[in-house]
């Protein structure tokens, strides 16, 4: 589910060109997806999904990569205010799913790039059309696939002894 934003008209000073720039009000549609991450990583040559902070320009560039509206004036992205950035962050952080996990995942120390996610999609048999899903929804699907494909956990010796004791008690009651 994409995000639609209306960016207000703005006039600002361009320090490089030493002139005023005016942008018109523009409605754009954004999509936080594996495809967007892949475009950003191919430009910046570093993982998007990381704890490393991003510069304002890198964040602005990711918003450009998320944009599915055609022919957007590049200056429009400089007109993004706190309210629009807040809406974009809420959209990016939204799980976009009703699925939840009862145990907290162990922190993964490995670097996750778009290629790693594509590999996981291939391993799980997830079609490439899903690259345009909201990224959090896709990552949830991949986690579900991983958990469902795991063999069932073996019972501990203590659990086996407890189960056998309960069965024995039940059998003794049936004999009486």
- Give per-residue pLDDT as tens, 41-59: 999 999 999 999 999 999 9
pLDDT for residue 107 is more than 80? no
Task: Return the percentage of the chain with pLDDT > 70, whole number.
Answer: 96
| Alpha-helical regions (H) of the chain | 34-44, 56-66, 82-93, 114-124, 135-148, 157-175
For the chain, the distance separating the N- and C-terminal CA atoms, rounded to the nearest angstrom, is 63
pLDDT for residue 105 is more than 80? no
Question: Among 28-37, 117-126, 142-151, where is mean pLDDT lowest?
Answer: 142-151
Please indicate whether residue 35 or residue 159 has the higher confidence score (pLDDT).
35
Task: Provide mean pLDDT across the span 5-12.
Answer: 91
What single DSSP character describes residue 105?
A: P
Question: Which class for 58: exposed (0-12), middle (13-18), buried (19 or more C-beta within 10 A)?
Answer: middle
The 8 Å CB, 24+ separation contacts for 80-85 are 80/7, 81/8, 84/5, 84/7, 85/59
Q: What is the pTM of this model?
A: 0.73
Give pLDDT, residue 153.
Answer: 80
């Amino acid at each position: 589910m994409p995000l639609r934003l209306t960016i207000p008209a703005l006039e600002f000073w361009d320090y490089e060109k030493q002139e005023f720039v005016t942008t018109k009000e523009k409605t754009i549609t954004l999509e936080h997806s594996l495809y967007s991450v892949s475009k950003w990583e191919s430009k910046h040559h570093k993982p998007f999904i990381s704890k490393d902070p991003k510069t304002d320009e890198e964040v602005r560039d990711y918003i450009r990569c998320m944009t599915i509206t055609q022919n957007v004036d590049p200056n429009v992205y400089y007109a993004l205010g706190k309210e629009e950035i807040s809406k974009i962050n809420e959209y990016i952080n939204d799980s976009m799913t009703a699925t939840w996990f009862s145990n907290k995942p162990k922190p993964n120390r490995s670097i996750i790039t778009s290629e790693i996610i594509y590999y996981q999609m291939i391993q799980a048999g997830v079609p490439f059309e899903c690259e345009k899903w909201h990224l959090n929804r896709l990552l949830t699907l991949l986690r579900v696939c991983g958990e469902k494909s795991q063999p069932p956990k073996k019972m501990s010796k203590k659990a086996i002894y407890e189960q056998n004791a309960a069965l024995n008690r039940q059998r003794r009651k049936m004999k009486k």
